[in-house]
Each structure stands twice: as C-alpha cells, then as structure tokens.
A = this chain, B = another copy of it.
C-alpha cells in the first residue's frame, strides 16, 4: 500500500470502532486502544495491530482520539500513560471529542513543546456514518496539522470542513451544530405532542411537516422513532445534557444569553430525571406526553 501509515484510534466505542475499521480498510497499520480489553480484542480479530501505547507511540504517524469528553481527552493525551510526550515530532493528534473551544486551544498549546501537531476535529454524522467512513469533520489547525492528518481524515470522512488554522474553531462549529440539533430535536417533540392535543396524529405530522417550512434534518431523522414507538438508542437522551451543557458553559463564559438552548436543555434534563437517559433521544416526547396526559404510539 502506498502511503501506508502507522495510525492509532484511541476509544473504540460506536464512533471509534467505525473509524478504526475504515483506517484498517485503507491498508494502514492500525492500532485500536480502549480501556475495555474486549473492544481491543474484537478489533484485533478484524485485523487490528497489537501493541500498548508505551511501545507503539514513537512509531505513530497519526492518532485519532475518539473519547467522550474533555477530561478523557486530557487523560489520553497527557495523563499517566499519555501519548503526546511519547510521540515523534511531526506526528499529529486528531481530537474528535466534543470539547470547549478554549479546551482545544489549551491542549494544542500543550502539544507544541513536543513538536506534535494538534487538529481540532469534532465529527458529525453518528455511528452509522462512522461505520461507512462518511463522517463530516469540522477541523481547525495549522496547515502542517492538516497535512499530517491527511490519510486518517481520508479514511474516516466524506467531508472535511477546513475552518482555519486556529484550534478551537472546529469545536466552536461543533457546539453551534449541537445547539441547533438539540433545539430542533426538542422542538420536534414539543410540536408533535402539541399537535396531538389538537387532533393531529403523529403519523399525519410525519407525513405533512417534512414537506413544509417547519421541517429540519433532526425532525426527519427522529420522527419515525416516535411514530413506530421504537426507543432503541441510536443516540441517547444523555448525550444532550452533556452537549448542551458544553454550549451553555461556553455561552456563559462569553456572557452570551441563549434562552432557547436553555429551555431545550431543561426538557432533556427532565427526560434524564424520569429515568430515560439511556433511551433513544426521541424519547424526549414522553416528557411532553406525560405532562399533557397523551398516549404516544407503541408501548411507552
């Protein structure tokens, strides 16, 4: 394979596993790393390379960090077995976790003494598109960071939005996207259940609104879950208190008033408080249904 690289994917959850498989599929020497040994073993049965961070770090060209949040990212990069101090100058870390823009800037600065490039690279598209290698990446970093990450990005994504050379702008765009996606999801459940109080069934809502000015990407993606009464988690309720919490923390630090985001967050918190944190996020409709005495389709 031309341009065969040594690449590690740290974090083999639903997103990271898909990314790792696609990197492997492009012929790169691919290490899958996770605190869960079962996930690592599963990736090795698919052809993943074997090795721990201390052994492999110096030979890596690129590392994708696909963990949950800023604390895990910091630990992976600079913790006790942190990978950055062990990497060679000129290699790159591609950080896909949703973190605050300021966190991205701080982590990027901490990479500089090691000569390791930092690409601020949150992703959009979910587990299905991670498995397809067709994620969207909202990326910001130096031209050198983009160059060093080229093969990894090509393997994992369909679209890379190059948002400038300052780490943090990728994370900012991701926060903007999550603000909108979370509000649109909550608005869909508010509108669907409001319609039910006036005789508009979920089926009629799902048939008509996607053809009208009130539609959104999230509405069209999630409304079938409600119509079918299927709350198998594709994306869980508990993602939203985390992501909208990040948005509102950033907003607070900028003295930015975000009342609609705040209202949406409260609804997701109510869903989590009702014990539905691990259900599909379309289950937010149940908060409205319970408040209004409505019966949603299926067994709820």
Q: Are A214 and B180 in contact (CB under 8 A)?
A: yes
Q: How many positions in chain A have a CB within 8 Å of any CB in the partner chain?
A: 71
What is the interface of chain A mostly: helix, strand, loop, or mixed?
helix
Q: Given A211-B159, A218-B213, answer yes or no on A257-B179 (Cβ-Cβ < 8 Å).
A: no
Instruction: Report if A173 contacts B (CB, 8 A).
Output: yes
Q: Are A216 and B184 in contact (CB under 8 A)?
A: yes
Of the candidates B207, B218, B254, B260, the one whose C-beta lies within 8 Å of that of A190 is: B260
User: How many angstroms between the C-alpha atoms of A190 and B192 in the bound complex?
Assistant: 23
Known A180-B188, A180-B219, A183-B190; further 14 A-B contacts with Cβ < 8 A: A164-B199, A172-B200, A175-B194, A175-B198, A176-B191, A176-B194, A180-B209, A181-B213, A183-B191, A184-B216, A187-B261, A193-B256, A198-B250, A214-B218
A residues near B, CB below 8 A?
Answer: 101, 124-126, 136, 138, 159, 161, 163-164, 166, 168-169, 172-173, 175-181, 183-184, 186-188, 190-195, 197-200, 204-205, 207-209, 211-219, 221, 247, 250-251, 254-264, 266-267, 288, 291-292
